[in-house]
Structure 1
Amino acid sequence: MIKNKLVSRGIDYIMQHLNEDITIEDVACYCHFSKYYFSRVFKEETGESIYAFIKRLKMEQSALRLKIEKDRTITDIGIVFGYSPSNYSSVFKKHHNVSPAEFRKRINTTCIPHPFYQNKSAGFKSFEEYDRKIKIQELDDFFVIYERHIGNYIELGRNWFNFLEKYKDLINEDTLMIERSYDDPSITSIEQCLYDICITVDKNCSLDNVTMIQGGKFAACRFKGSIKDIFYSYQGLFNIWLPNSGYEMDERYGLDIYRSVDCENMHVVMDICIPIK
């Protein structure tokens, strides 16, 4: 868990300005520290230098764009993240061990292996089957208590249990459990996935770890099933539905809103919400 609030604030700044030429000085200044002190604290908390973190996120978020924006040129996507055409291809290949063009060709639109469960894979459904489950919704802003984690999604259940136990006195019948996910685990190393776990609270809550999740227009897909199959629903939506839907994902990040959780049978009902414009 990211316990240092200023490091978490720095990560927010990086995520919000990923398509800009961010420097270590920019992030440190935003958090009101010298770059030397903040660089040390950031690496202690995340295991990565600020520079390495920014570069990795640019490569992984641009790969996601290659995946979901199939009609957009590789050159355009590279430019969005601050790279010239030749430099983008070189840096991308060094990070992913494959060129952007080959990465895009390899994107599988029929099935995908599960990154958390070895020897498990599943096929995708048709666009029409996904589309029937999608509802375009305007969501209000959410005020939440949150904890930020970098690590394997396989630890999500334990992290949720500890989180809910810690804040049980603030939970009532109207409380929503929300995950905010930033990475695609088919692209990002499973040990480096960034995510927030949250519960809704009154906007006047006085705790330090309260933030606002921006609402707006979302494509919401209701998922009912085993927790281990959430990954496949996500991949189907991003590999099949989104590239063919006529919608574009905007600069916000995805949300999972839990509607019910059956811990004993590892079964959930949740809305997978993709921010669109």
Structure 2
Amino acid sequence: MKMDKTHTYIERINRVIDYIESNLEDEITLDDLAGIADLSKYHFHRIFHSFTNESLYGFISRLRIERAATFLLLQERSLTEIALSCGFNDSATFSRAFKKQFKMSATEWKKKHNSKIHQDKNRKSTNNISMKIPKEGHLNVLLTEEKDLHDMHIAYIRHTGSYAGNLKLFKSLHKKLMEWATPSGLTKNPQTKDLVIYHDSMGITDNDKLRISLGIIIPEGTRVSGEIGSLCISKGKYLLCRFEVHKDEFGQAWTQVFRTILPQRGLQTDDGYCFELYPPNCYNKAKETTLVDIYVPIKRIE
């Protein structure tokens, strides 16, 4: 395919994936998705598979099961409630699908991973950080605050595949995003901030299917195209935790949010994107540290 055609398809498939991810709890039809992609159903199936290396319904099913697995660890809800919130018609259908993917029941899977948490081993989160509690203790939290956020419109560039520790990858993605944003004057807007959205959970999703979106906040209605997509982080209540971290401490910061700060405040994660937000001039060259705001959608533990 020619480059311009490839970019057109990337734009359309990203729109479809964003729609799927935002509507996993609802019925998702081929007609709807083909319409979003502006393709015939026949060509949409083929193009979706060529860009994701997964069948359409295999992709949807995998995202639903992986979201349910994440909710099992981070939300105090029954299996039936989790199943319905992830788009399964009933708990029996969910149980069969879960066991097929993870080779054990959802109850066994939760018990196994909760046991690991209590032993200070890896824990997984909706933000896709593999989390460990280090022996040296907790990081210093500069700010912890519950905030009501308005809708935030984001322009992003997305990567699918392994990314942990790959600073070169993040720099490359940021460069491409800035090459798009700078000519439009978006980088001069004082409201513009860099952010990273982690769509999947490391340790639940296979490394070659992990998705991250590196983005900037944009005015509503800003036009995007090609590799640059757009999405909306929905308004709602979020927990903000601010850290100053070295390059190897990001995972530790996320761990502290999910493992310590949320439970201490009587909170659990709600549906929505978890993300990192970077204020201007966030990097301290002298100290080799980065100022990062971690945002998690929240609700009270009932």
Q: Is the 8 A contact 2:156 2:214 kept in 1?
A: yes
- Structure 2 residue matching 1:53: 3-state secondary structure: helix
Matched AA of 1:44: S
- Which residue, 111, 133, 140 being the options, matches 2:120? 111
Q: Find the counterpart in structure 2 of residue 257 from structure 1.
A: 277
Q: Identify if the C-alpha distance between structure 1 residues 95 and 210 changes in structure 2 by more than 3 Å, giving closer, same or farther.
A: closer
Q: 2:36 matched to 1:19? A: no
13-22 vs 235-244, greater mean Cα deviation = 235-244
Contact 1:131 1:241 in 2 (8 A): no
Partner of 1:158: 171
Inter-CA distance 203–18: structure 2 relative to 1 (3 Å threshold)? closer
CA deviations on 1:101-153 (whole Å, 9 max, x unpaired) are 1121122144234999x9x95348999x9999521012333333211222223
Contact 2:18 2:231 in 1 (8 A): no
Give the partner amino acid of 2:48.
F
2:288 maps to 1:275: no
Q: What corresponds to 2:62 in structure 1?
A: 56
The residue number in structure 1 matching 2:242 is: 222
- 2:257 aligned to which of 229, 237, 243: 237
Q: Structure 1 stretch 198-207 or stretch 134-143: which is displaced more?
A: 198-207
Q: Is the 8 A contact 1:92 1:98 kept in 2?
A: yes
**Taking structure 1 as reference, are residues 207 and 198 closer, same or farther at Cα in structure 2, changes over 3 Å only?**
same
How big is the shift at 1:215? Answer: 3.5
Report the CA distance between 1:168 and its aligned residue: 4.2
Q: Could you list the runs of 5+ residues in structure 1 that have no partner in the other structure?
A: none
Local SS of the residue matching 1:14 = helix
Please tell me the residue identity of whatever aligns with 1:236: Q
Aligned to 2:133: 122
Q: Report the Cα distance in structure 2 between the residues aligned to 1:200 and 1:230, rounded to whole angstroms.
A: 21
2-side partners of 1:135 and 1:192: how far apart?
33
Distance 1:158 1:112, change over 3 A: farther
Matches within 5 A, 1:189-208: 189-203=206-220, 205-208=222-225
Give CA-to-partner distance per residue, 1:190-235, whole Å, 9 cap, x none. Answer: 2212221112334464443454433432101112212332123223
Aligned residues: 273
C-alpha separation in 2, matches of 1:74 and 1:236? 26
Separation (CA, whole Å) in 2 of partners of 1:124 and 1:243:
20
Does the CA contact (< 8 Å) of 1:253 and 1:275 recur in 2? yes
Q: Deviations over 1:136-186 (max 9, x none)?
A: 012333333211222223345234343355244442372310112221213
Alpha-carbon deviations, 1:16-40, whole Å to 9, x = none? 2101232333322333322221111
Report what 1:179 is aligned to: 196
What secondary structure, in the 3-state scheme, does the structure 2 residue paired with 1:276 have?
strand
Matched letter for residue 231 of structure 1: G
Shift in CA distance, 112/59, structure 1 to aligned 2, threshold 3 Å: same
RMSD (Å), alpha carbons: 3.5
Q: Which residue of 2 aligns with 1:246?
A: 266
How many angstroms apart in 1 are the aligned matches of 2:99 and 2:42? 30
CA-CA distance at 1:83 after TM superposition: 4.3
Distance 2:252 2:292 in 1: 14
- Please name the residue that 2:147 is paired with: 137
Which whole-Å CA distance do the structure 2 matches of 1:165 and 1:79 have between them? Answer: 40
CA distance in 1, matches of 2:77, 2:65: 16
260-269 or 188-197, which moves further after superposition? 260-269
